[in-house]
Amino acid sequence: MRMINLLSATVGLLLLAGCNEAYHDDPPPPPPPQALTDFVVIDSYGVDSGYSPDAPLAIDPFVNAGVFEVFWQARFSRYYSFYLSVSETPYIADAVPVYETGCGPGQHCNLDGYALCQYNQDFTLFCENGPVVDMLEVVYEVPQNVYFFAEVCGAHECNYQRLKVGLY
């Protein structure tokens, strides 16, 4: 009987000793090698979404001539494309492209980018030297909340962020 108790205790201790062997506290996965790490809009009134992320943004053609600023930061090791688009829905698939530029080593934008944009009284929008885009596809009433999307794309994947903005 004593031998059975000793054998049972030994087996029990061996089982308990192996319990934590399979458990590993794995670190979180690394961030993607290419990513949009920050997207900031400074609206017509000077509200900066980077400093005041919960403050409503408004772009008004009658305030500061409708001028607003877009900043972004990306993590890329090679060339990438930056796209700014606008949608009346929170889905990037519905968005109308308004600005694009190539970025990377030796370009005017590398890991940080900036675009000066203007929204006009005739419901057109343009950024930098880009084309004038008719926003009547997106704006049905004034004021209207829309979504601005910043997207960075490398050779194999894209990454985006969005901000809600009131157009007046």
Give pLDDT tens digits for 102-142.
999 888 888 999 999 999 999 999 999 899 999 999 999 99
133-134 and 124-127 beta bridge pairing: antiparallel
Residue 16 or residue 104, greater confidence:
104
**Which residue reads 């600005």 in tokens?**
99
Q: Is 24 a domain residue?
A: no
**Dist. CA 152–CA 41, nearest whole Å:** 16
**Which residue reads 């009433």 in tokens?**
141
Model confidence at 62: pLDDT above 60: yes
Q: Is 158 a domain residue?
A: yes
Q: Is 98 a domain residue?
A: yes
Residue 64 or residue 30, greater confidence:
64
Band (155; pLDDT cuts 50, 70, 90)? confident
Range(s) of the domain holding residue 80: 33-167
From the centroid of its chain, how far is CA 132? 24
- Locate 13 and state its tokens: 């201790």
112-119 and 67-75 beta bridge pairing: antiparallel
Q: Is 112 a domain residue?
A: yes
Q: What is the pTM of this model?
A: 0.80
In percent, the amount of the chain with pLDDT more than 90 equals: 70
> What is the structure's pLDDT at 10?
56
> What is the structure's pLDDT at 3?
52
Model confidence at 20: pLDDT above 60: no
CA angle centred on 104, ends 100 and 109, rounded to 5°: 60
Task: Judge contact between 124 and 133, C-beta under 8 A.
Answer: yes
Q: Is 104 a domain residue?
A: yes
Q: Is 51 a domain residue?
A: yes
Model confidence at 9: pLDDT above 70: no
Q: Is 37 a domain residue?
A: yes
For the chain, what is the mean pLDDT? Answer: 88
CATH of the domain at 76: 2.60.40
> What is the structure's pLDDT at 33?
67
> What is the structure's pLDDT at 98?
98
Helix (H) or strand (E) holding 145: strand 144-153
35-42 and 57-59 beta bridge pairing: unpaired
In the chain, how many domains are there? 1
The mean pLDDT of 18-22, rounded to a whole number, is: 54
> What is the structure's pLDDT at 18?
55
